[in-house]
Homo-oligomer: A and B are copies of this chain.
Amino acid sequence: MAAAAADVLGDRLSGGVMVIKRDTTQDVGAKLPHPGSYHILAAGHPVPDERSVAGARRIADLLSDSREGDLVIALISGGGSALLSLPAPGLSLADIQALTGQLLACGASIDEINTIRKHLDIIKGGGLARMAHPADLVTLVLSDVVGSPLDVIASGPTVPDPSSFADALAVLDRHGLPDRAPPAIVDRLRRGAAGERAETPGPSDPCFARASTLLVGGNPQAAEAAERAARAAGLSALILTTYLQGEAREAGRFLGAIGRELASAGRPLPRPACVIVGGETTVTLRGDGRGGRNQELALAAVGELAGLPDVALITLATDGGDGPTDAAGAVVTGETLSRARALGLDPAASLARNDAYPFFTALGDLLRPGPTDTNVNDLAFLFAW
């Protein structure tokens, strides 16, 4: 996105800041037509770090002298909630890091996590739009959130925030966190819910008077590209949904049940077939194993698909990184169970420990494409041939 913008803008680009994931910095810099046009900073993900704060400060500095007639272009993609952080007065980065870890571990949805983040951080929830005011502001968004709600992607730094301090506090309550979350955070949310803190800017805030936002890509576009590729390869193809959410292991059983139908009845599509599902599931941690949501989803389908001929399930994170692993996802076929047993592996026991990564490593069935530098959530493909 940054390279394309620099290409179009040429020397009309007076300055820019890119804050990206730590391990992609050099590659991205090399892709820019005018490498000097942006300050490039790497920052932490999925938990924000001190570089996330430095990046947000750099952006705030750049925007501090914006005036009417200037054009600010915000290029937003997945991960922005962690990559940019300006803790609200009275909060420390350590507080926000601790809470982010707790929210990720308890299975909170990204919508819930970002509702809280927007009320702890002054660059999120329309905060960047306030900084850019009174310049013209155009935001181009690549979505990594199911359904592409613009206020949730990267915690909506340039769009109105429909959520309130009371909503954020309700998320903490729902996950039983008020006793465990950092006290300064609980205090801020409680005071905010009591009306003692200013809310994030809503739709009628003047900072949005000259702001416009365009969704340039997301999971549906990726699923549609996959559908075209499958059809071009001679398969019948069908997108079931691009809104999949919920517990990864249960989604895996549902897809396994569709695999059994494909194998036994040639439904919902005639063979050779490719059923495509997009979205992003979550994993509620029960054990201390290694893995990610796409690998766990695949592992949960092993039993359902066991023994079926000519069927495969392939799962992947489109950014190439599934959870805290170097794999994007995994491949399961009707033979996975018997191959695993021959190696002394028990998929049910691995699933109970959230330990999909060693399971698929032993089988040689992980997908490892490396980082793709773009995140449009996850895709799963059920093949029958």
Binding site for B on A (CB under 8 A): 147, 220, 238-247, 250-251, 253-254, 256-258, 260-261, 264-265, 267-268, 279, 304
Q: Which residues of B contact A254 (CB under 8 A)?
A: 241, 244, 246, 250-251, 254
Question: Which listed residue, B241, B256, B258, touches A257 by the CB 8 Å rule?
Answer: B241
Q: Which residues of B contact A241 (CB under 8 A)?
A: 254, 257-258, 260-261, 267-268
Copies in the complex: 2
The reply to whether A261 and B246 contact each other, CB–CB distance below 8 Å, is: no
Say yes or no: A268-B240 contact (C-beta < 8 A), given A257-B279, A279-B257.
yes
With both beta carbons as reference points, the residue of chain B lying nearest to A250 in the complex is identified as: B250
The reply to whether B304 and A243 contact each other, CB–CB distance below 8 Å, is: yes
The reply to whether B267 and A239 contact each other, CB–CB distance below 8 Å, is: yes
Q: How far is the CB of A304 from chain B (nearest CB, A)?
A: 7
Q: How far is the CB of A195 from chain B (nearest CB, A)?
A: 23
The reply to whether B245 and A261 contact each other, CB–CB distance below 8 Å, is: no
A-B contact pairs, 17 of them (CB 8 A): A220-B265, A238-B267, A238-B268, A239-B265, A239-B267, A240-B268, A241-B258, A241-B260, A243-B261, A243-B264, A243-B304, A244-B257, A245-B253, A246-B254, A247-B247, A247-B250, A254-B254
Given A239-B267, A244-B257, A245-B304, 12 new contacts (CB under 8 A): A238-B267, A238-B268, A239-B265, A240-B261, A241-B254, A241-B261, A243-B258, A245-B257, A246-B254, A250-B250, A250-B251, A254-B254
Q: Which residues of B contact A265 (CB under 8 A)?
A: 220, 239, 242
The reply to whether A246 and B253 contact each other, CB–CB distance below 8 Å, is: yes
Q: Which residues of B contact A251 (CB under 8 A)?
A: 250, 254
Q: How far is the CB of A357 from chain B (nearest CB, A)?
A: 23
Q: Which residues of B contact A256 (CB under 8 A)?
A: 243
- In the bound assembly, the distance between CA atoms of A249 and B239 in angstroms comes to 22
Q: How far is the CB of A83 from chain B (nearest CB, A)?
A: 28
Q: How far is the CB of A284 from chain B (nearest CB, A)?
A: 11
Q: Which residues of B contact A260 (CB under 8 A)?
A: 147, 241, 243
Say yes or no: A250-B246 contact (C-beta < 8 A), given A267-B240, A268-B238, A268-B240.
yes
